[in-house]
Amino acid sequence: MKIAYDNQIFNLQKYGGISRYYTELASQLYDKSIDTKIFAGLHRNEYIKKYDASFVIGKQITYLPKTASIFLNTNNVLADSYFNIKRPDIVHRTYYNNKNKLKKSINVITVYDMIHELFPDDFSAKDNTADLKSITIKQADHVICISESTKKDLLKIYDIPESNVSVTYLGYHSLRNIKSNFIEDGNIDNLDRPFLLFVGHRGGYKNFLKFLKAVSISKRLVKDFDIVAFGGGKFSLDEKRYISELGFHEDQVKNIQGGDDILSILYSKATLFVYPSLYEGFGLPPLEAMDHGCPVICSNTSSIPEVVGNAALKFSPLDIEDMNCTMEKAIYDCSIRDNLVLAGLERTKNFSWEKCAANTLKVYRSIL
């Protein structure tokens, strides 16, 4: 069996969850002596730069701008030309920017979520991801979804046979052994009070503002805890204004930027990880938190219950009172907290990149 992954996500992402997924998946198969190639062309990705030409075909261009569509289009043409000559059994498209269907190989695409379709108002009117995605899905011979929830949403929106859709869960990287002295735009040394942790982008369906509101209605939580929002860029003026209106004192709600090294430290120090998102295609942060022995509470929507199982307390993300009560229960009831920590460490054993690759390989073999 010959398997090939195209260039798209490696041209678009220097770092990122999707390019990490494909790097882990492809490298697992390659290490098992399966004929696997990534055709990356001129790329900007950090994850694949360490591999030699027997696995990754391409060259990293460190100054390649993120919006360099000319490079992406050129790479698309070169990749398709290579695939038409080499004729791999399966070509796995890594994103939605290539509109061409390869006739000499089986075309596979992974769908991560249906956020663009379900939350269109969270995106710019110029964002054409949903249109490109629609074309790619309809052209694909097989679609892989990263959760049963995503598969369910996909089949509701697109008229494609269920037999053409499979589910393979993601793996995840343990961050606990990462060591670095580099800190970007944020000093973690001044975290002298216990804190609640939020990770990632904060706008729209990520539901950060309701999380702040849920904390603010509890005098006990406000008295005992700071809030740390990791990543997602610096707070906007509107966010700062809202934080002040809720009554948090100066510097009680902190924004810290950085890499996985800093995130690992925050997971280890946090009293509680809160994941209030309205929708996720999978959601890795709860697993990362569990891996660090940090108790997790999360939304009871979309794929999130699939991922956390019984290892997290769940709440309705639109119900501020419910979110607040769940936070207090997880923090102030020691037996519940201890059980969450133990259950979380056990839950992470269900997800690995090795398992993800093995299940994906089963899908490939089933469609040949």
The 3-class SS string of 57-91 reads EEEECCCCCCCCHHHHHHHHHHHHHHHHHHCCCEE
Domain count, the chain: 2
Are 167 and 241 in the same domain? Answer: no
Residue 86 counted as domain residue: yes
| Residue 238 structural domain | 188-350
Q: Is residue 28 part of a domain?
A: yes
Contact 7, 43 (CB under 8 A): yes
Contact of 18 with 94, CB cutoff 8 Å = yes
Whether residue 275 sits in one domain with residue 252: yes
Adjacent-strand bridge partners of 173: none
The pLDDT of residue 67: 54
pLDDT band of residue 181 (cuts 50, 70, 90) is very low
Residue 185 has pLDDT above 60, yes or no: no
Confidence of residue 353 (pLDDT cuts 50, 70, 90): very high
In a domain, 178, yes or no: no
Mapping DSSP to helix (H, G, I), strand (E, B) and coil, where does residue 268 land?
helix
Q: Does the residue 176 lie in any domain? A: no
The H or E element that residue 17 is part of is: helix 17-31
Arithmetic mean of pLDDT, 92-99:
94
Does residue 98 register a pLDDT over 70? yes
Q: Are residues 192 and 205 in the same domain?
A: yes
Residues 312 and 247 in one domain: yes
Determine which of 64-73, 144-153, 166-175, 267-276 has the lowest per-residue pLDDT on average: 64-73
Same domain, 205 and 235: yes
**76, pLDDT greater than 90:** yes
pLDDT of residue 68: 64
pLDDT at 110 over 60: yes
How much is the pLDDT for 314?
98
Is the pLDDT reported for residue 114 higher than 60?
yes
Segment 261-310, tens digit of pLDDT = 889 999 999 999 999 999 999 999 999 999 999 999 999 999 999 999 99
Residues 212 and 334 in one domain: yes
How would residue 66 be classed by pLDDT, with cut points 50, 70 and 90? Answer: low
Same-domain check for residues 130 and 251: no
Q: Are residues 145 and 246 in the same domain?
A: no
The predicted structure's pLDDT at residue 99: 87
Do 212 and 195 belong to one domain?
A: yes
With respect to residue 346, please indicate whether it lies within any of the assigned structural domains.
yes
Residue 49 burial class via C-beta count within 10 angstroms: exposed 0-12, middle 13-18, buried 19 and up: middle
Work out the angle at residue 124's Cα, subtended by the Cα atoms of residues 119 and 125, and round it to the nearest 5 degrees: 95
pTM value is 0.90
Same domain for 277 and 205: yes
**Residues of the chain above pLDDT 90, percent:** 83
pLDDT of residue 220 exceeding 70: yes
Rounded to whole angstroms, how far apart are CA atoms 284 and 32? 25
Q: Are 253 and 227 in contact (CB under 8 A)?
A: yes
Residue 181 lies in a domain: no
- Per-residue pLDDT reduced to its tens digit, 228-255: 999 999 999 999 999 999 999 989 999 9
Name the pLDDT band for 183 (thresholds 50, 70, 90): very low
Q: Answer whether residue 253 is part of any domain.
A: yes
Predicted confidence (pLDDT) per residue in 47-57, tens digit: 999 999 999 99
Domain membership flag for residue 331 = yes
58-62: average pLDDT: 87
Residues 156 and 259 in one domain: no
Cβ partners under 8 Å of residue 213, min gap 6: 246, 320
Give yes or no: residues 162 and 212 share one domain: no
Question: What's the CATH code of the domain at 290?
Answer: 3.40.50.2000
Q: What are the E-state strand segments in the chain? A: 2-5, 35-43, 56-60, 90-93, 106-111, 142-145, 165-167, 195-199, 226-230, 253-256, 272-275, 296-299, 313-315
DSSP 296: E
